Amino acid sequence: MSFRREKGVPRGGPDGGDGGDGGNVVIKVFQGISTLIYYHYKKHFVAQDGRHGQGKDKKGKRGASITLKVPPGTLIKDEAGNILKDLKEKENFIVIARGGKGGRGNAKFKTSIHQSPREVEEGEEGEKKWLNLELKLIADVGIIGLPNAGKSTLISRISNARPKIAAYPFTTLRPHLGIVKMDDFSSFVVADLPGLIEKASEGKGLGDRFLRHIERSKILLHLVNVGDDFVKDSLKDFQIVNKELELYNPDLLKKPQLVVGNKLDLPGARVRFNKFNKEISEKFSVMGISAKTGEGIAQLISRLFTLIKEEEDRES
Ligand SMILES: Nc1nc2c(ncn2[C@@H]2O[C@H](COP(=O)(O)OP(=O)(O)OP(=O)(O)O)[C@@H](O)[C@H]2O)c(=O)[nH]1
Ligand SMILES: [Mg+2]
């Protein structure tokens, strides 16, 4: 509350300015951070209060906001476990607690019949909440392919993940994540996804429950069985999977896709691989491997690493 006092102005009116708004608490993704360990040690974060309004109609300063840094893939939940925000890489921040609005100064209460208001308004309380932060790994590479293509065999060979491997379809029932370590200590994350089949996008097989994991990966590694005798047409297999991706979300086909023919060690595989390669190499980059013997695996890893870097450069 304040009244104007000036020489020669005997009854100056009210001139108390409004209080400043409180600062916000913002949670924002930073690429350089990989864990939530900091929040294990420090749990209370408060943005600055708004400053008081002043005489001469001066509005108080806005309180400074604070920004909490979290790694990509952080899920923000309320105390009851409801997801408030899934911090994906594109929209990477949220104002999680708003500062209160500053109160009005007495200047705002002046009316024609109320010339010297002495009332002022308290500033609002800011929002307060308890949150649970949870880190969901985002795979750099999602391995897709029909059941039995050898996806789990491949991830077991290149990473620390150990999903079940067997010669029947739908061995893998949920996604497995593995970390691929490179010689120079860099690393990337791969996901072995359950096999997709025709009409998966309509719920067939394990359905589309896992397709959202594919949406999160930067790169798709499309594994195609070119070895087993029961595989009649690798091109057709390849197209079935891509069709399902398209039906689920056409944007998935815009992701960089490295096509990898697997089971080169089996008799007749090389002939089939060469044919397949010719059929699609105009549109896709293709490599051949044997997840079982290790043939082509080193080249595959370095190729994936290059593709991830390219994709990260493109995104930033
Ligand atoms: N000869 C040979 N067999 C392989 C190779 N890769 C995988 N297999 C075999 O193929 C079968 C299926 O392998 P998985 O890794 O379980 O296949 P998957 O793609 O994970 O299958 P789902 O989880 O059912 O979708 C297993 O019997 C593996 O041993 C390979 O490079 N060569
Ligand atoms: Mg599997």
Q: Which of 119-133, 163-177, 227-241, 296-310 has the lowest mean pLDDT?
A: 163-177
For ligand 1, say whether the CB of 100 is within 6 Å of any of its atoms: no
For ligand 1, say whether the CB of 166 is within 6 Å of any of its atoms: yes
Going by their DSSP bridges, the two strands 132-135 and 74-77 should be labelled as antiparallel
pLDDT at 206 over 70: no
The percentage of the chain sitting over the pLDDT mark of 90, rounded to a whole number, equals 58
pLDDT of residue 295: 97
The CATH code that applies to domain 1-136 is 2.70.210.12
Question: What rounded mean pLDDT belongs to the chain?
Answer: 89
Q: 234 CA distance to ligand 2 centroid (A)?
A: 18
For ligand 1, say whether the CB of 197 is within 6 Å of any of its atoms: no
For ligand 1, say whether the CB of 266 is within 6 Å of any of its atoms: yes
Q: 150 CA distance to ligand 1 centroid (A)?
A: 3
pLDDT of residue 155: 95
Domain boundaries, the chain: 1-136, 141-315
**Closest ligand to 200 CA?**
1
Mean pLDDT of 21-38: 86
Residue 309: what are its φ and ψ, rounded to 5°? -60, -45
Q: Among residues 63, 53, 65, 66, which one has the least CA distance to residue 19?
A: 53
Query: Distance between CA atoms of 264 and 293, rounded to whole angstroms?
Result: 9
Q: Among residues 47, 99, 48, 97, which one has the least CA distance to residue 76?
A: 97
pLDDT of residue 208: 64
Contact 267, 176 (CB under 8 A): no
Query: Distance between CA atoms of 47 and 96, rounded to whole angstroms?
Result: 11
pLDDT at 257 over 80: yes
pLDDT-based confidence at residue 200 (cuts at 50, 70, 90): confident
Domain 141-315 -> CATH class = alpha beta
pLDDT at 136 over 80: no
Contact 83, 52 (CB under 8 A): no
Query: pTM to 2 decimals?
Result: 0.67
For ligand 1, say whether the CB of 67 is within 6 Å of any of its atoms: no
pLDDT-based confidence at residue 285 (cuts at 50, 70, 90): very high
Query: Distance between CA atoms of 78 and 268, rounded to whole angstroms?
Result: 56
pLDDT at 89 over 60: no
Mean pLDDT of 38-64: 93
Q: 165 CA distance to ligand 1 centroid (A)?
A: 6
Buried b or exposed e, range 240-255, using 16+ CB within 10 angstroms: bbbbbbeebeeebeee
Query: Distance between CA atoms of 240 and 280, rounded to whole angstroms?
Result: 14
How open is the CA angle 301-239-297, to the nearest 5 degrees?
15
pLDDT at 138 over 80: no
Tokens 């594109």: give the residue.
90
Residue 17: what are its φ and ψ, rounded to 5°? -75, 165
**Closest ligand to 146 CA?**
1
pLDDT, greater one: 311 or 172: 311
- pLDDT tens digit string along 218-247? 999 999 999 988 888 999 999 999 998 898
pLDDT at 281 over 80: yes
